[in-house]
Amino acid sequence: MNTAIRNLISRFIKGKEGMGTIEVVIIIAVLVTLALIFKDFIIDLARGIFSNIEEGAESATQIL
Protein backbone atom coordinates (compact mmCIF):
# COMPACT_ATOMS: atom_id res chain seq x y z
CA MET A 1 0.00 0.00 0.00
CA ASN A 2 2.81 2.38 0.88
CA THR A 3 4.48 1.88 -2.51
CA ALA A 4 1.16 2.47 -4.23
CA ILE A 5 0.87 5.87 -2.55
CA ARG A 6 4.47 6.70 -3.48
CA ASN A 7 3.80 5.74 -7.10
CA LEU A 8 0.65 7.87 -7.14
CA ILE A 9 2.50 10.89 -5.75
CA SER A 10 5.38 10.34 -8.17
CA ARG A 11 3.04 10.17 -11.17
CA PHE A 12 1.19 13.22 -9.87
CA ILE A 13 4.36 15.30 -9.62
CA LYS A 14 5.84 14.10 -12.92
CA GLY A 15 2.63 14.12 -14.94
CA LYS A 16 1.03 17.01 -16.75
CA GLU A 17 -1.75 17.18 -14.18
CA GLY A 18 0.85 17.70 -11.46
CA MET A 19 2.41 20.59 -13.32
CA GLY A 20 -0.99 22.22 -13.71
CA THR A 21 -1.56 21.94 -9.98
CA ILE A 22 1.84 23.38 -9.19
CA GLU A 23 1.20 26.29 -11.55
CA VAL A 24 -2.13 27.01 -9.87
CA VAL A 25 -0.50 26.94 -6.42
CA ILE A 26 2.21 29.35 -7.58
CA ILE A 27 -0.38 31.72 -9.08
CA ILE A 28 -2.42 31.65 -5.87
CA ALA A 29 0.72 32.35 -3.82
CA VAL A 30 1.58 35.34 -6.02
CA LEU A 31 -1.97 36.69 -5.75
CA VAL A 32 -1.98 36.34 -1.96
CA THR A 33 1.38 38.11 -1.76
CA LEU A 34 0.13 40.97 -3.94
CA ALA A 35 -3.02 41.23 -1.84
CA LEU A 36 -0.94 41.50 1.33
CA ILE A 37 1.34 44.12 -0.22
CA PHE A 38 -1.55 46.26 -1.49
CA LYS A 39 -3.91 45.49 1.40
CA ASP A 40 -4.46 49.11 2.45
CA PHE A 41 -5.08 50.24 -1.12
CA ILE A 42 -7.59 47.43 -1.69
CA ILE A 43 -9.42 48.24 1.55
CA ASP A 44 -9.62 51.95 0.71
CA LEU A 45 -10.85 51.15 -2.79
CA ALA A 46 -13.55 48.81 -1.48
CA ARG A 47 -14.68 51.38 1.11
CA GLY A 48 -14.92 54.04 -1.60
CA ILE A 49 -16.94 51.78 -3.88
CA PHE A 50 -19.36 50.79 -1.12
CA SER A 51 -19.65 54.41 -0.01
CA ASN A 52 -20.66 55.41 -3.54
CA ILE A 53 -23.19 52.57 -3.67
CA GLU A 54 -24.64 53.61 -0.32
CA GLU A 55 -24.94 57.26 -1.39
CA GLY A 56 -26.58 56.21 -4.64
CA ALA A 57 -29.04 53.99 -2.81
CA GLU A 58 -29.92 56.79 -0.38
CA SER A 59 -30.55 59.28 -3.20
CA ALA A 60 -32.64 56.71 -5.06
CA THR A 61 -34.85 56.08 -2.04
CA GLN A 62 -35.28 59.83 -1.42
CA ILE A 63 -36.65 60.24 -4.93
CA LEU A 64 -39.35 57.67 -4.20
Q: In the chain, how many domains are there?
A: 1
Burial of 18 (0-12, 13-18, 19+ CB in 10 A): middle
Confidence of residue 64 (pLDDT cuts 50, 70, 90): low
pLDDT in tens, 9-37: 777 667 665 567 788 889 999 999 999 99
Which one-letter amino acid corresponds to residue 12?
Answer: F
Average pLDDT of 42-61?
90
pLDDT at residue number 4:
78
pTM of the predicted structure, to 2 decimals: 0.51
Higher pLDDT, 23 or 43: 43
Domain that holds residue 55: 2-63
**pLDDT over 70 for what percent of the chain?**
83
